[in-house]
Chain A
Amino acid sequence: MNPTILLILVLFVGVEISFTSVIWANVIIIAISVLVMLRHRAPILSYVRLLLVPLIPAVGIWFSIRYFSTAQSVHFAWVMATRIYAYAFLGGLFTFSTTTEKTLASLEQNAHIPTTFVYGMLGAFNFVPKIRSEVKIIRASAQMRGIDLHFWSPRLLFKSIVAALNWSENLAEAMTSHGFTENAPRTHRTVIRIPWWNYVVTVISIVGLQAILFSPLK
């Protein structure tokens, strides 16, 4: 599916299940996400991660709602626990259906997000490995002087921002000197289109969700 359409659909579903409390809707969303992930041949480990990571928050909220809320409702406890899993699996569905580059390209061409934002983010994302090592360097060099920089230390953040300031200047200049003009119209080597069936899938999904949410299912 086209990443922009899929993103809109996933966000819509995510917001709607936040405002409704139907366990079955959450479960069906999880099941559909698993099917989509299976189709995209997601590695087994990713299912394990999706099951384990939300486990602690889900169990935590289940106990809080079940024993410490005013109504102590078992139903609502399950709604909240499955909702957390539904969010996580919606994330998995999206992650395995597309890539960051494809999503940004589609946001530029289909959603018409200003190119300054799209290419600025794209440029910055390529810095991730450098950023990881910079954090390590800053902490290591502080440790050599016997100072432990914790994540809440203003100095660690300050030093990171100073590095970010330098990089952003350099990268912006480099991009400009390679011919990038802020928000100028661009031509594309790969034109991203939205196939007609994307709209069909979106409409069916949204109608189906309403059917479940407003059915006698709980």
Chain B
Amino acid sequence: MQQKAAHSNRWHLRDVILITITSIFMGIIFFVTGFLYNGLTLALTPLGMAPFANDILLGLWTMAGPLAAFMLQKVGAATIGELLASAVEAIIGGQWGPSTLISGFVQGFGSELGFTFTLYRRYDMASLSLSALTTAIVTFAWDLVRSGYAAYHPWMIVALFITRFISMWVFGALLVSAVTKLLDRSHLLDRRHA
């Protein structure tokens, strides 16, 4: 058992390629709809609610972590998956450059914690929901500093956090689980987890 776990935790070339291609896919899918964020920000700016645009959509950008964890079921998969996805975003978009890597690492580490708490044994809705919660907490702590969230009124901070958690749960748990259910039914991943 011990040996099997140690073996399956090795990263192979095909795992790296799979995660990177998946990240590129997601990067392109998000890139196509990137105007959503700007549109939302524009609509919310007169109300002073611009930060909500970030929190409503953040679940989308943090999907790579839980998806990678689910597909590879390895220690570190969520962190590496999200970090790779952010590297892809930095390279394709080029715009935010290396600072995307910092966010990617923070988000990946957040998702990872959810699976760490289940000792990497559970890959279901429960661990995905837990991962959404840890991602929300970790990224929110980071945004309190980086995006100046700490300067807002307490009610706004609470509302932002709730928005963020809902977004992460909808995209990172609900959507990811819908995708993985399709994958399970296709039995395409069975060989990889064997």
Contact = CB atoms under 8 A, between A and B. Distances in A.
B51 to A, nearest CB: 6
A18 B77 CA distance: 27
Contact of A60 (B50, B99, B171): B50
A134 B22 CA distance: 12
A67 B97 contact: no
B25 A121 contact: no
Interface stretch (A50-58, A186-194, A197-205, A207-215): A50-58
Q: Interface size class for chain A?
A: 35 or more
B152 to A, nearest CB: 5
Contacts of A171: 14, 17
A157 B23 CA distance: 11
Interface of B: 11-18, 20-22, 24-26, 28-30, 32-33, 38, 41-42, 44-46, 48-51, 53, 60, 67, 71, 84, 87, 90-92, 94-102, 145-148, 151-153, 156, 171, 175, 178-179, 182-183, 186, 188-189
Given A53-B95, A69-B153, A165 B18 contact: yes
A60 B52 CA distance: 10
Is chain B's binding surface mostly helix, strand, loop or mixed?
Answer: helix
14 contacts: A10-B99, A60-B41, A63-B50, A64-B45, A65-B151, A87-B96, A91-B90, A95-B97, A116-B13, A124-B21, A151-B30, A169-B14, A171-B17, A176-B13
A77 to B, nearest CB: 9
Contact of A164 (B21, B50, B87, B182): B21
